[in-house]
């Protein structure tokens, strides 16, 4: 038996094997495949199934002795060979089942990328997205049916794209244009995040991310998310990181989701609710940030419920919360940091320092 997308099945010569079309969405095909246990089944996939392909998904549902992979050249390898690009220096993204906004953190002049796309119609969407973000001058190479008799490569600027394209398709791009490039360091400018004013500002955010100290594969709880800036900066640190933002106000929770979508951080989970009640049932964290709503009850819950070694960082602006942190440090240890910042501002005809409210930051390992 052979199971795969109709496009793949149509390329097979007639050999008498039963053919089964893999349904859309992809997840609906898994029960069909697993129901065939005990039979000899071939699953068709494009190129290397373990590079933004179906291979890892199928392997998670099958025992090691139940499957064998026979990979071919990936579309990334074929595309790089057409352009003479070194793959280790090129960003490779699977956008055939993901939002185009995943490109956003990587858009900077001279950046090269290879991306898979859902179908021919998605090519116009990619070009439009580059134009919307200020990178319409980017060079595109649209690659159709790489490695086959219908192979075609079209080179064009994103803002001059015309014509129709056929599946299977991937695209190479070399970013050009005057759009805003997202900085690589923590403490991005505040205007990257929409807010109603409830946001950890840029310098304090940089210090907070330093205290949270994200490490490979870790999960953050951002309690009192506000604009989501802390959780989003955490996620921007590395693609292996995960985060959950907990925000009691629905309008702010919606704004966090919008900020995440715009920055391509669709792996941010947003929970609307108040801590500690909203924390029950969440995947356990490796680090916790409390930017709002800290009180004795929440602090007690965190120390009672979380595993030893979880890193906790809390910022206090009010005298009441500051006193709570002073007492917590006396009981649990950790480090206290008082952050006092001032910005240059007009003072009559001259310039003086305008002081911001001081912030007390407590960081501790539970």
152-184 pLDDT, tens digit per residue, is 999 999 999 999 999 889 999 999 999 999 999
What is the domain range of residue 105?
A: 75-174
- 276 and 345 share a domain? yes
Domain boundary among 66, 88, 111: 66
pLDDT given at position 16: 80
- 305 and 324 share a domain? yes
- 169 and 196 share a domain? no
- Split into its structural domains, the chain has a count of 3
- 150 and 213 share a domain? no
Its sign, for the CA torsion 56, 58, 61, 63, is negative
∠ CA(19), CA(20), CA(23), 5° rounding? 155
- 132 and 280 share a domain? no
Domain boundary among 174, 209, 239: 174
b (16+ CB within 10 A) / e for 189-211:
eeebbebeebbbebebbbbbbeb
CATH number assigned to the domain comprising residue 354? 3.40.50.150
pLDDT given at position 111: 97
* Distance from the first to the final alpha carbon of the chain: 54
333 domain residue, yes or no: yes
185 domain residue, yes or no: no
pLDDT given at position 285: 98
Distances (CA, A) of 140 to 83, 219, 321, 365: 11, 36, 53, 48
- 268 and 162 share a domain? no
- 272 and 151 share a domain? no
218 domain residue, yes or no: yes
254 domain residue, yes or no: yes
269 domain residue, yes or no: yes
Residues 34 and 365: their CA atoms lie apart, in Å, by 44
Domain boundary among 130, 146, 174: 174
pLDDT given at position 117: 95
180 domain residue, yes or no: no
- 232 and 93 share a domain? no
pLDDT given at position 12: 85
183 domain residue, yes or no: no
pLDDT given at position 327: 95
pLDDT digits 0-9 by tens, 329-362: 999 999 999 999 999 999 999 999 999 999 999 9
Beta-sheet pairing, 242-247 with 268-272: parallel
- 241 and 170 share a domain? no
Residues of the chain with pLDDT below 50 are none
pLDDT given at position 130: 98
Would the pTM count as exceeding 0.75? yes
- 57 and 206 share a domain? no
CATH number assigned to the domain comprising residue 118? 3.30.950.10
- 345 and 197 share a domain? yes
Q: Supply the DSSP symbol for 147.
A: T
Residues 316 and 127: their CA atoms lie apart, in Å, by 45
- 160 and 44 share a domain? no
């Amino acid at each position: 038996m052979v199971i795969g997308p109709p496009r793949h099945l149509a390329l097979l010569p007639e050999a008498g094997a039963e053919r089964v079309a893999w349904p859309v969405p992809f997840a609906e095909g898994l029960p069909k495949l697993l129901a065939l246990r005990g039979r000899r089944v071939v699953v068709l996939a494009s190129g290397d199934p373990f590079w933004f392909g179906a291979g890892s998904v199928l392997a998670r549902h099958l025992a090691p002795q139940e499957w064998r992979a026979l990979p071919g050249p990936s579309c990334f390898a074929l595309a790089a060979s057409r352009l003479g690009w070194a793959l280790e220096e090129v960003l490779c993204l699977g956008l055939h089942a993901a939002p185009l906004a995943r490109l956003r953190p990587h858009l900077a002049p001279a950046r090269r990328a290879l991306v898979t796309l859902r179908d021919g119609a998605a090519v116009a969407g990619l070009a439009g997205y580059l134009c919307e973000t200020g990178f319409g001058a980017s060079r595109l190479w649209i690659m159709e049916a790489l490695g086959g008799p219908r192979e075609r490569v079209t080179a064009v600027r994103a803002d001059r794209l015309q014509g129709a394209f056929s599946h299977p398709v991937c695209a190479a791009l070399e970013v050009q244009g005057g759009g805003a490039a997202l900085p690589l360091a923590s403490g991005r400018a505040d205007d990257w995040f929409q807010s109603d004013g409830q946001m950890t500002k840029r310098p304090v955010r940089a210090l907070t991310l330093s205290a949270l100290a994200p490490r490979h594969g870790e999960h953050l709880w951002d309690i009192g998310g506000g604009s989501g800036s802390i959780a989003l900066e955490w996620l921007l640190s590395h693609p292996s990181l995960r985060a959950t933002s907990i925000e009691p106000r629905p309008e702010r929770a919606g704004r966090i989701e919008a900020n995440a979508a715009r920055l391509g951080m669709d792996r941010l989970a947003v929970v609307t609710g108040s801590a500690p009640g909203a924390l029950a049932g969440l995947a356990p964290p490796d680090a916790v940030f409390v930017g709002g709503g800290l009180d004795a009850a929440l602090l007690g819950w965190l120390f009672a419920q979380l595993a030893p070694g979880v890193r906790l960082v809390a910022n206090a602006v009010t005298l009441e919360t500051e006193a709570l942190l002073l007492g917590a440090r006396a009981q649990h240890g950790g480090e206290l940091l008082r952050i006092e910042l001032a910005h240059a501002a007009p003072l009559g005809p001259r310039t003086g320092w305008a002081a911001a409210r001081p912030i007390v930051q407590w960081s501790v390992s539970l």
